[in-house]
Amino acid sequence: MNNAVVKDALRQGLGALQALLENETALQRIAAAGQLLSDALAAGGRVYSCGNGGSMCDAMHFAEELTGRFRADRPGYAALAISDPSHLSCVGNDYGYDQVFARFIEAHGRAGDVLLAISTSGTSRNVIAAVGAAHARGMQVIGLTGNGAAPLAADADIAIVTPAGRYADRVQELHIKVIHILIELIERRLAPDNYLDG
């Protein structure tokens, strides 16, 4: 029985990935997001990322791959996930959890920066508030979600909707794939020597 469960999970993941591969709109938006991110970093801007739960882990992973190392050595890129516990607890206590990401963007965001806002449902109130704060600062927003009818998809400048079905785990599996592709697109623009062999 356990073997059957494992195979079924892998088939579902494969099906979700195939659906993304065949979704031309999503592929075009991923490419556009990579261009937007690399343009911002090349111009001296910063990239911020946010999300809740597993999406916060994805936001942190995205930022650390940019500040650290992805595939080969190159300079660190200006990226930061909104995940500092002292900030989150302070703002959550004083203003409410809905404001934890928006308040950070209000403090640090500048025109020319980009926010990667991640929400599998596309309805997380604190993520939506961060989108509004980013736009108020003259920033552009990439929304990464699994729900094309949600507020995040409507409010983002570039909405990447992963067609992974009704469960958040399948959506998140595609989100990390998209995140890795975005990092590769950034590197191919800013560190092209890392990709001379393919």
pLDDT over 70 at 173, yes or no: yes
The whole model's pTM is what?
A: 0.96
pLDDT over 80 at 167, yes or no: no
Give backbone dihedrals phi and psi of 142, rounded to 5 degrees, phi first: -105, 120
Query: Residue ranges per domain, the chain?
Result: 2-191
Other beta carbons within 10 angstroms of residue 15's beta carbon come to 14
Confidence of residue 198 (pLDDT cuts 50, 70, 90): low
Confidence of residue 165 (pLDDT cuts 50, 70, 90): low
Other beta carbons within 10 angstroms of residue 78's beta carbon come to 15
CA-derived radius of gyration, the chain: 17
Name the amino acid, one letter, at 132: G
Query: What's the DSSP call for residue 81?
Result: E
Helix (H) / strand (E) containing 118 = strand 114-119
pLDDT of 1:
63
Token output for 188: 């191919």
pLDDT of 168:
85
Q: For residues 79 and 168, what is the distance between their CA atoms, to the nearest angstrom?
A: 25
Confidence of residue 163 (pLDDT cuts 50, 70, 90): confident
Other beta carbons within 10 angstroms of residue 25's beta carbon come to 12
Question: pLDDT of 91-147, one tens digit each?
Answer: 999 999 999 999 999 999 999 999 999 999 999 999 999 999 999 999 999 999 999
CATH superfamily of 2-191: Glucose-6-phosphate isomerase like protein; domain 1 (3.40.50.10490)
Question: pLDDT of 28-67, one tens digit each?
Answer: 999 999 999 999 999 999 999 999 999 999 999 999 999 9
**Residue partners of 51: CB distance under 8 A and separation at least 6:** 57, 58, 59, 117, 118, 119, 124, 127
